Amino acid sequence: MSVSVFEWKQWKFEGISEGGIRTSISCPALDCMFDFGAVHPDRVNTMHLLLTHAHLDHSAGLPYFISQRSLQKLKPPKIFVPASTRETWKKIIDLYSELEGFSYQYELHGLEFGERQELKPGFYFKPLPSFHRVPSQGYTIYQSSKKLKAEYKNLSQKEIIHLKSEGVEPNGEFAEPLVSFSGDTKIEYVLENPDVQKSKILFMECTYYCDKRDTNRAREWGHTHLNEIAENHSAFQNEALVLIHASKRYSYREAKEWMQKKLPESLLQKTFLFHLGQNKK
């Protein structure tokens, strides 16, 4: 399967995103994948699957993902879904297990907005509200580290060691949003989530680019129009904005032309189009 690649500094993302057809993007370094709307044999070794919502172009590969890991005797994957959809997903997965005639091994977690989940040492993620036609959530991955608390910054090394001997922890956790993934959503996903605005990398749904399909049409279907991104350009404080989920009506060239026409230069220079067959840094 042909995939797109996006690289930013030391971070590499691979996958595919076509509006209404299939979306699945993985980050090998973090052993996680956002959505699985495409059957992608090379990605079944990914441990963490973060599912934004149940529309089939984002979730159709889920039973395949679990089945393949079971057949290959890999560790049970950790699958995260909106809390309100967990029981329905369990029924679907267990029916596939019954049809295939062997027991699927998996962990299925229904998450509420803001619920923290550890990913790997130094990284964790939280689901944040997205705005679509069905229960949905985006995800933000945070990079965390231990740093000296502000009140202890003027102490000597000897004084810090003494504090530790007294049972006082002088270090606190410092975390910053590294990457956010929107899934399908209206523009409110950005406007109402400060950590999304501040993420170093933001994968943002943008389905419509042209004037023939206007903003009202996008909002009616729970999607984002390029016009809304342009109008709210100051909200995008990210180092890299990666647009995903473009409608199939646009070629890569057409979508790029609309971006160049509509986005202010300050936003355009850090905006990238994640489009099938185009590998862009």
State the average pLDDT over residues 6-26: 95
* Residue 276 binned pLDDT confidence (cut-offs 50, 70, 90): low
CA distance 226 to 271: 12
Q: Are 70 and 104 in contact (CB under 8 A)?
A: yes
Instruction: From residue 213, give the alpha-carbon distance in Å to each of 185, 204, 243.
Output: 16, 18, 17
| Partner residues linked to 140 by β-bridges | 126, 180
| 280 — pLDDT class (breaks 50, 70, 90) | very low
CA distance 178 to 195: 9
Query: Smallest Cα–Cα separation from 67: which of 54, 76, 56?
Result: 76
- Write the CB contacts of 21 (distance below 8 Å, at least 6 apart in sequence): 37, 57, 248
Q: Residue 97: helix, strand or coil by DSSP? A: helix
Which pTM was predicted?
A: 0.91
User: Could you report the per-residue pLDDT of 111-147, keeping only the tens digit for each?
Assistant: 999 999 999 999 999 999 999 999 999 999 999 987 7
3-state secondary structure 56-78: HHHHCCHHHHHHHHHHCCCCCCE
Whether 275 and 254 have beta carbons less than 8 Å apart is answered as: no
Q: What Rg value do the Cα atoms of the chain yield, rounded?
A: 20
pLDDT tens digits for range 150-174: 787 777 888 767 777 878 777 877 8
Assess whether pLDDT exceeds 80 at residue 278. Answer: no
Neighbouring-strand partners of residue 17: 23
pLDDT, one tens digit per residue, over 67-89 is 999 999 999 999 999 999 999 99
Task: Quote the distance between the C-alpha of residue 268 and its chain's center.
Answer: 21
Residue that the structure tokens 């509509």 belong to: 262
Quote the longest CA-to-CA distance of the chain.
68
pLDDT for residue 281 is more than 60: no
Angle between helices 86-100 and 62-71 in degrees, nearest 10: 50
With 0-12 / 13-18 / 19 or more C-beta atoms within 10 angstroms meaning exposed / middle / buried, residue 166 is: exposed
**The CA-based dihedral angle spanning residues 185, 238, 10, 121, taken in that order and rounded to the nearest 10 degrees:** -70
If one counts every other C-beta atom within 10 angstroms of the C-beta of residue 116, the result is 12
Q: Does residue 140 contact residue 194 with C-beta atoms inside 8 Å?
A: no
Residue 256 near residue 226, CB atoms below 8 Å:
no
Query: For residues 135 and 87, is the Cβ–Cβ distance under 8 A?
Result: no
